[in-house]
Amino acid sequence: MDLTPLFLPKSVVVIGVSSSNDRHPANVIFSKNLLRYPVRTYAVNPKGGVLHGEKVFPSISAVPEQVDLAVVVVRAEYVASVLQECIDAGVKSAIVISGGFSESGHDDLQAGLVDIAALHDFPFIGPNCLGLYSPGSVDTFFLPTERMVQPSQGDVAIVSQSGGILVDLLVKFADEGVGISSGISIGNKALIRERHLLEFLASDSRTRVIVFYIEGFAQNEGRDFVYIARDCGKPVIVIKAGKTSEGGRAVSSHTASLAGDYQVFTSVLKQHDIIEACNEHELVSYCEALSCYPDTRIDGRIGIITGSGGHGAMAVDACISNGLSVPGFSESVRQQLQEGFSKSIRSIAAVGNPVDLTGSALERDFVTAVETLNTISEVDCILLLLLPYLPGISSDLGASISQVCRRSGKPLVAYVPHVEKYRMLIEGFELNQVPVASSIESAVNMTRVLKRCRPC
């Protein structure tokens, strides 16, 4: 099946718009794509009419062009006939938003959709889903635009069985400045499943990192997923629901999935070097780091630079707790550091590991410390704890330090408090593909995933 029309449609038809309720899910989807996206957008309702000045067609066959993507928002019992009409009209793909299928005990209705689609090699996502959000291309979520928080265009793709979890992740990604290539809610995944999307995203030039929120697999399906993820050539991150027996029951009632044995699942992921995130916050940190360093693999020897001794001590504890090391420096490295510092801190800066430049440090001292750690063999990753309220630094420091690291190739992870006042400093890192964490814990997670990640 060719999934390109799903992800990059040039034309979309929304089937099931209402003539009387402008907040109907189909109307929301039609309006946002008509007004905000570069796709040719059509509406279908058997009664016809006009919506937002556009003609509403009585059937898909009446639409004046062959359509790439149909978004189906009709009652469950009508979906099968609508899919057949789409196939007959030459539509290339579909997203079934409608619920009322296997998650509600109506396995026969869902099986009917699969039979029709499989017979004609017709790709569809769903049912019981939000569908697809691709920045700048298409948005089939039935959430009003003014209520959505949308991350910018980037290179992380998220596939989720839960629409609510996906929307929650988009909020967190936007808050942390992590861009996405696409977000896909697959719901009951009746036809297109994780492995199909993984195969497509592995070859998608817009995507560098692939994320899956997984509730469960069908019998023997997990094995195929793991093998494809292992060999896909891009970092794959998994976050799993249904880890407990109680959570497994919740999963089954949500999307009719089998949660499976979590301990077996997590052991298999580790065995095949697939990254598992324990929670949403860890997931966002992993994605930000791997978006910047998708092919980087470190041993986990961390060099810490800070302007505060307390921040440095907390970072050391976090590193050790997460299986990273913070090696001490040789006397020659200590001397090299000290000689490069400004006179005002030369006698008070700590030149072990962490390198504590103190609150009296100047901008050049931070650059010197980063330059020095980039040249030594004792560390393979630099963790920079930057306190933007120090009087000796400017908002340009993020960009200056990023340039140093881009020349050296040694990965750098920065910590800067995420408030609007420090936005310019943060952007100096982000625009140069250096991940910036909003907490010390998140910064350490970013370094840890570079150790855990092997190219698939």
**DSSP codes joined into one string, 195-246:** HHHHHHHHT-TT-SEEEEEE--B-TTHHHHHHHHHHHSSS-EEEEES--SHH
Q: Which pLDDT value is given to residue 218?
A: 84
pLDDT in tens, 131-155: 999 999 999 999 998 889 999 999 9
| DSSP code, position 367 | H
Q: Which two tokens stand for residue 81?
A: 């006939």
Per-residue model confidence as pLDDT tens digits over 62-79 = 999 999 999 999 999 999
What pLDDT, on the 0 to 100 scale, is given for residue 248? Answer: 47
How many H-runs (helices) and E-runs (strands) does the chain carry? 17, 19
Q: What is the pLDDT of residue 244?
A: 55
Query: Which pLDDT score, from 0 to 100, does residue 245 have?
Result: 53
- Tell me, what's the pLDDT at 260? 59
| Pairing relationship of beta strands 94-96 and 124-125 according to DSSP bridges | parallel
- Within this chain, domains 149-292 and 296-452 share the same CATH topology: yes
pTM, two decimals, is: 0.90
Joined tokens for residue 97 = 């938003």
The strands making up 94-96's β-sheet, listed across from edge to edge, are 50-51, 54-57, 40-44, 11-15, 69-72, 94-96, 124-125
Instruction: Enumerate residues 6+ apart whose C-beta is below 8 A from 167.
Output: 130, 141, 143, 148
Instruction: Convert 97-125 into a string of H (helix), E (strand) and C (coil).
Output: CCCCCHHHCCHHHHHHHHHHHHHCCCCEE
Query: In the sheet that 131-134 helps form, which strands lie side by side, from edge to edge?
Result: 138-139, 131-134, 180-185, 153-160, 209-214, 236-240, 275-276
Q: Look at residue 265 in the predicted model and tell me its pLDDT.
A: 86
Token readout for 350 is: 């700590």
Separation of alpha carbons 250 and 256, rounded Å: 9
What are residue 46's phi and psi, to 5 degrees?
Answer: -55, -25
The fold adopted by the segment(s) 149-292 is Rossmann fold (3.40.50)
**Pairwise CA distance, residues 199 & 157, whole Å:** 12
Quick one: DSSP state of residue 353? Answer: S
Residues of the chain with confidence (pLDDT) below 70: 244-260, 453-456
Side chain identity at 66, as an amino acid letter? Q
Report the CATH architecture of 296-452. Answer: 3-Layer(aba) Sandwich (3.40)
The CATH classification number of 1-125 equals: 3.40.50.720
Q: What is the mean pLDDT of the chain?
A: 92
User: pLDDT tens digits, residue range 11-57?
Assistant: 999 999 998 999 999 999 999 999 999 999 999 999 999 999 999 99
* 95 membership: H or E segment, kind and range: strand 94-96
Look up residue 445 and give its DSSP letter: H
Task: Return the domain boundaries, the chain.
Answer: 1-125, 149-292, 296-452
Measured between alpha carbons, how far is 318 from 271 in angstroms, rounded to an integer?
25
CA dist., res. 444 & res. 319, Å (int): 6
Angle at 138 between CA 136 and CA 144, to 5 degrees: 100
Q: Which helix (H) or strand (E) holds 12?
A: strand 11-15
